[in-house]
Amino acid sequence: MLALVLLIASTTIGAAEPGGNGDGLRDMQCGGACHGDASQNGSSSLSLSIQYASQVWVGQPTEVTVVVSGLGEVHDHELLGVFLLSSTNANGDTPLSDGWEILSDGHGGTGNYVELTSIAGSDSIEHTWVLRTEDLGSKTMFASIHHGDSAGPSQGQPFFGISEGYEVEVSPLPENAPRLSAAFDPVSTREVGVAIQVSIQTEHTQTVNVEWRAEDGALMGATVNTTGENEWAFTLPASLKPSSVQWRATLIGEGPEQTTPWFTMVAQTAPEQADSGPIYLQGLAMALLLFGAVIALQKPQRREEDTTKVYDNTTHIESTQSTDQEEAPAPLPEGGLPPGWTDEQWAWYGHEYLAGTYGGDQQ
């Protein structure tokens, strides 16, 4: 109990999560709950805005960028949690709830929540998602942010903010316009040190041009080969370290030329394969130890023989009978033997007669 009290007392109630919780698919309520005590949240002074393409086509990928401004003016923070939302319901408010598909979160995943590190000396930071929807008409988007304060009177307190709603109009694509196929699913991750071939599926497309850029921003072209009707492929060179590259394609056909958003591909170190041999040996050792413990508990314990306990009472019984038989007869009452008694009867039952327990009458 003392250890439990000390552990509880050593924690900071209501503090923000300085290490973050990682990217993922999360509702807005996470910003007021899983990143800190919702009752402790303060209003963030950071400004949020959303930028998107002037023309959003149904069924085609489109970029949506959240811009965070006002960094370094009021709060001292480094890690920022940014949400892309479809409503402010705080539950069931991810873009998926409004018919969007998240093709890329810019970090190698497909979530609506990312954690960003602010850049020293910069007043703003921005992050881009790639989305796609099969629904026509108007859709509303919101941006939300969660962060802490590492200095000053609000140190450790979580702060939360949300933008105004931004209306996005999804329009039908011209019938003969070149486009990405609905089957196209961009690859978002690859291994460090391995070149990767990227496949593109299109419709109404005669030519595809691809350009890509590394983190340094240098723009380079890629050779695109035809692998089938409306199927194309190009190769990205191997990355020497964990990093990201972006690429986009220009689709050319009879209709209006189309340019895709920038797709992000993250190079990651492949997880090391654990040697299963020692694990199996440890498991076997634990199994044997458990088996031995069970056997030891079930083994009957030896009981010391009670040398003082007599199992054969024959001698004792005979001795008792002998003692009873050799006991002296009871003295005769005045007047001699009771009427009807014999000497032998008196020898055996005289004591009982005198005690009043035999015959009920001592006359």
**3-state helix vs strand vs coil in the chain, percent to 5:** 20, 35, 50
Domain containing residue 34: CATH number = 2.60.40.680
Q: Verify that 166 and 62 share a domain, yes or no.
A: yes
Say if 321 falls within a structural domain: no
Q: Is the pLDDT of residue 362 over 50?
A: no
Quick one: pLDDT at residue 95? 96
- The neighbouring-strand residues paired with 128 are 65
| 231-256 pLDDT, tens digit each | 999 999 999 899 999 999 999 999 99
In a domain, 315, yes or no: no
pLDDT of residue 271: 57
CA 25 to CA 32: how far, in whole Å? 15
Of the pLDDT bands very low, low, confident and very high (cuts 50, 70, 90), residue 363 is: very low
Report whether pLDDT(11) > 70: no
pLDDT of residue 322: 52
Flag whether pLDDT at 136 surpasses 70. Answer: yes
CA atoms of 185 and 183, how far apart (whole Å): 6
My answer on whether 28 and 147 are in the same domain is yes
Query: Alpha-carbon distance 193 to 232, whole Å?
Result: 23
Short-list 135, 128, 126, CA closest to 56: 135
Task: Give the pairing type, strands 42-43 and 159-162.
Answer: parallel
Q: How much of the chain, in percent, has pLDDT values that exceed 70? A: 76
pLDDT score of 196: 95
224 part of a folded domain: yes
Q: Please tell me the total count of domains within the chain.
A: 3
pLDDT of residue 360: 47
Q: Residue 322 domain-assigned?
A: no
Q: Is the pLDDT of residue 31 over 60?
A: no
Average pLDDT, the chain: 82
Q: Which domain holds residue 118?
A: 8-173
Section 131-148 average pLDDT: 94
Contact 126, 68 (CB under 8 A): yes
Mention every residue, 6+ apart, whose C-beta is less than 8 A from residue 40: 13, 14, 15, 157, 158
CB 36 within 8 A of CB 158: yes
